[in-house]
Structure 1
Amino acid sequence: MVAMSIIATQLISITPLFAQAPAAEARSFNAFIQSLWPEAQQRGITRATFDRALGDVQYDAEVAALSRRQPEYGRAVGDYLNGMVSPARINGGIRRLGEWRGLIDSIEHTFGVPGEILVAIWGIETGFGANTGGKGVIRSLATLAFLGYKGDFAKNELLTALLVLQQGHIPPDRMIGSWAGAMGQPQFIPSSFMRWAVDFTGDGKRDLWTSVPDVLASIANYLREHGWKPGLPWGYEVTLPENFDMRRSRASFREWAALGVRRADGGKLTDRRDANGGKEAILFFPSGARGPAFLVTDNFNVIKTYNISDVYALAVLHLADRFRGAPAFAGRWPQDDRQLTREDRMRIQRRLADLGYKVNDFQGMMDFDLRDNIRDMQIKFGMVPDGHPGMEFMGRLVGR
């Protein structure tokens, strides 16, 4: 999945290539790299670190091509989830939970995040460390910085990566990650490494490349610092009663239960003794009302800070549940539910803003506030108000 998934997958942009002959391009790239020295020096980076990391760095045309790719949300949600929550990944996670049980119990006690969640992210990001991306992080970020990728994002991440090297956490030749600069087994970008990576072994290094304790503790620390609430369920797949009022999107678990909403697996949504019964849960249709329905809580949104995609968060949390023996989702996913492209979603956001709705993000990320705005427009269009930004809704809102 990658790119930090923390984060780099949310930072994809369209960047023009420099129309230069290779030799001229190389000269421009080298000149750009040297121009970074004054800012690097201001950040406390030594000349030795700068030269060691960037002295012979080369432009990477493959990274440049990947930076211009427009990601499509073209896979149906059901197909995506089947790929992410595969039997091999379920079995692999269960095996690692057993292998690292003592460590995971210690991390859970320290950070308050369930070990199944940590192992699920580890498995989805890099196959439990088997595939960390294979790109030199310094070269990737240097190329992206040269291209002006996402404004100053890549340049700032490159300079931060130099600080990671200078602190001795990893040598340059072992700083491996994704094309977008996400590093190691948990796919942290350098700035996330500096804020949230943890030296859980106490050896003085935050090793996200080879140390499973540091990897899992760093994921746990990231989630805790982004608001993970211990003991709060992330949510449930649910079934709705006949003639349910689809305009309702937010209520407490107790209120949902009173409205006839039930867990799809037959478990209790809440009872009077349940401390979480009064917590708000949001009704969420990843594929629209034709597909499965979910109630999700603040902990679902915490997973989205790792990767802003709703279906990524759903995959992580469902995988974690499968580790515990939970069944597969009961609802049937529509196979013709083609997810909109990022550009399509941005068009929806711009149009909703033009109509006077508050839009928190103009990069194509659909938060639950925006889905409530979509519900409002669906009511005006005479559509089922499920909050899902599908093709029919986009056609009515902005044209095809």
Structure 2
Amino acid sequence: MRISLRLLLLGTVAACAPMLPEAPPVTPTPAPAEQPAPAPAPTPELPAAPVVDQAGFEGWKQGFLARHGGVRRAQYERELAGLTPDASVIRLDRNQPEFSRPAGAYVQNAVTPTRIAQARQRIDRVPWDVVQRYGVPSEILVGIWAQESSFGQVQGNQDVIRSLATLAFDGRRRDWAEGQLKHALDIVVDGRRARAGLKGSWAGAMGQTQFMPDNYLRLGVDQDNDGIVDIWGDDADALASAANLLAQAGWKRGQTWGYEVTLPAGFDYAEAEGPKHNWRYWAAKGVTLPGGGQPNAAEAAEEAAILLPQGARGPAFLALPNHYVIRAYNNSVSYALAIGLTADGIQGKPALSKAWPNDAPLSREQRIGAQQALTNLGYDTRGVDGVIGANTRAALRRWQIANGRLADGYLTADLADELIRRGG
């Protein structure tokens, strides 16, 4: 039962979190007049929103109602009446920062001294009985709260039903999006939340901890016992719901998410993101913790993987089971690292010992072109969608091994261009 529930959670992850602005401190102190507010970080320019076909959208809508309406078809049809697709949602879905930006750029933007200080100020907002009941540390919960909504201040103001209908119509993740749309419609039809208040991100994630509709229905917690699961306006409900999701996904009490590790000279990078082994195995391979020491006894007994999110030139990590539990929230290595490293910072652990390389982001054309080239060359990426995930990294690693390259599975812009020339 645990296995099937975990697979279900991983199949219905929260939408990818945007890179959010820093939140103001809990008790703000006005800056002196002569100190202007810092300029916001530049946002990478996105391609223009695609033109969508309204007639085609209407055809998809009728098909959706036939497939999923059932006895509620008339009620669903009422909520979908007059809806138009949102072209900006399609554009954003194809340019998610967790999968298009180098891991270091994503993590460094998310894990800052300011954000860690803000998180420490809010650590007491996590009800102690939530930590006791679910076993998820308050630092992890506050890290998710920070990353998902800047502590509730940036929750998204888009019509969740319209966003999910657009994603379903676009078709990249149609089955998933149609399932989430049905759940969103049920939230409204059942009276759990008024349609006007069902707001969220462009990808349909809702509230302070950015729950997808299915997770809201199955895992939402009424922590203050007022009869309403209010993840939008109630900190306690939002944080307890997040803790419940992680607990149901298999959070291991008394263990951390992972560690930065130092790899020895001559390490076989083809082992990264491969079979998992316990600490004794990795230590025998010469893997060490930068500050010395070792994982605790429970952690050392766990099967763990080595991750190289930015290749052999970047930091390396020992990913324990709780790293993958965080990915039940958002199935991205960069996202899970951002949450884990924020939690470490809240606890006062040292910063990373190895700097992130300053690599350029990959364009969508490079990501898709590299995936298509690898597949053409006989290294199937299991889909050409522009998302550089585990399947693409595994295919790239096989190509690197076959071509005598260092097999770290990391796609740089130069390597993408080379692959496109060879097999695009």
| TM, length-normalised to structure 2 | 0.76
1:7: which partner in 2? 14
Confirm or deny that 1:269 pairs with 2:294.
yes
Aligned residue in 1 for 2:158: 135
Query: What do the CA deviations read for 1:282-323 (whole angstroms, capped 9, x no partner)?
Result: 121111111111111222122223222211111111011111
Structure 2 partner of 1:240:
263
Are the structure 2 counterparts of residues 146 and 231 from structure 1 closer, same or farther at C-alpha, using a change threshold of 3 Å?
A: same
- Conserved 8 A contact 1:118-1:220: yes
In structure 1, the residue matched to 2:117 is 91
Equivalent residue, structure 1, for 2:20: none
Tell whether the 8 Å contact from 1:64 to 1:144 is kept in structure 2 after alignment. no
Work out whether 1:118 is the aligned partner of 2:116: no
Do structure 1's residue 391 and structure 2's residue 413 form an aligned pair? yes
Give how far 1:123 is off: 0.7
Residues 233-278 of structure 1, C-alpha deviation per residue, up to 9 Å, x if partnerless?
Answer: 32111112233333433432122223322212x142247xx13223
Query: Is 1:376 matched up with 2:398?
Result: yes
Is 1:184 matched with 2:207? yes
Equivalent of residue 360 in structure 2, options 338, 358, 368:
338
The count of aligned residue pairs is 376
Partner residue in 1 for 2:34 = none
Report matched runs for 1:244-255 at 5 Å: 244-249=267-272, 250-255=276-281
Contact 2:231 2:238 in 1 (8 A): yes
Letter of the aligned partner of 2:413 in structure 1? Answer: M
1:17 aligns with 2:17: no
What's the CA shift for 1:205?
1.9
Which residue identity lines up with residue 224 of structure 1 in the other structure? A
> Could you tell me how far apart the structure 1 residues matched to 2:379 and 2:58 are?
46
Name the counterpart of 1:42. Answer: 70
Give CA deviations for 1:354-395 in whole Å, capped at 9, x if unaligned. Answer: 666675665455555654553333222222222223334434
Q: CA deviation at 1:195?
A: 2.4
Distance 2:180 2:269 in 1: 43
The match for 1:164 is 187
- Shift, 1:229, TM fit: 2.3
Give me the whole-angstrom Cα distance separating, in 2, the residues matched to 1:92 and 1:146. Answer: 39
Structure 2: runs of 5+ lacking an equivalent: 1-10, 18-47
Gaps of 5+ in 1: 20-24
Aligned match of 2:228 in 180, 195, 205?
Answer: 205
Instruction: State the shift of 1:331 in Å.
Output: 0.7
Report the aligned-residue RMSD: 3.4
1:236 aligns to what SS in structure 2?
A: strand
Bigger drift between 247-256 and 174-183 goes to 247-256
Report the equivalent of 1:59: 84
AA of the residue aligned to 2:115 = R
Change (3 A) 1:45 1:190: farther
TM-score, scaled to structure 1: 0.80
Q: Deviations over 1:199-250 (max 9, x none)?
A: 2222222211111121111111212222322233321111122333334334
Equivalent residue, structure 1, for 2:129: 106
CA distance in 1, matches of 2:245, 2:345: 23
Is the 1:378–1:393 contact (alpha carbons within 8 Å) kept by the matching residues of 2? no
- The equivalent residue for 1:22 is none
2:345 aligned to 314, 319, 322, which one?
322
Q: What SS does structure 1 have at the residue aligned with 2:259?
A: strand
C-alpha spacing 1:58/1:45, structure 2 compared with 1 (3 Å): closer
1:369 and 1:171 mapped to 2: Cα distance? 40
Taking structure 1 as reference, are residues 184 and 399 closer, same or farther at Cα in structure 2, changes over 3 Å only?
A: same
Task: Pick from 245, 252, 264 the counterpart of residue 229 of structure 1.
Answer: 252
Question: How far apart are the structure 2 equivalents of 1:362 and 1:289?
Answer: 25
Tell me the distance in 1 between the aligned counterparts of 2:373 and 2:170. Answer: 30
How much has 1:146 moved relative to structure 2? 5.7
Q: 2:285 aligns with which of 241, 253, 259?
A: 259
Q: Give distance in 2, aligned partners of 1:229 and 1:344.
A: 38
Q: Percent identical across equivalent pairs?
A: 38
The answer to whether the 8 Å contact 2:140/2:340 transfers is yes
In structure 1, what residue type is equivalent to 2:294? Answer: L
Partners of 1:260 and 1:275 in 2: CA distance: 20
> What does 1:295-374 align with in structure 2 at a 5 Å threshold?
295-335=318-358, 337-341=359-363, 344-349=366-371, 363-366=385-388, 368=390, 371-374=393-396
State the alpha-carbon separation in 2 of the partners of residues 158 and 364 from structure 1. Answer: 24
Q: Is the 8 A contact 2:100 2:388 kept in 1?
A: no
Q: Secondary structure at the match of 1:306?
A: coil
Q: In 2, are the aligned partners of 1:116 and 1:323 still within 8 Å (CA)? A: yes
Aligned residue for 2:277, secondary structure, equals strand
**Which residue pairs with 1:286 in the alignment?**
309
2:208 and 2:60 map into 1 onto residues whose CA distance is: 30
**1:194 maps onto 2:211 in alignment:** no
Alignment deviations for residues 21-69 of structure 1 (CA, whole Å, 9 cap, x no partner)? xxxx5x997898688666675254774x864x456x5536xx3233134
Taking the aligned partners of 1:163 and 1:358, their CA distance within structure 2 comes to: 38
Preserved CA contact (<8 Å) 1:257 1:269? no
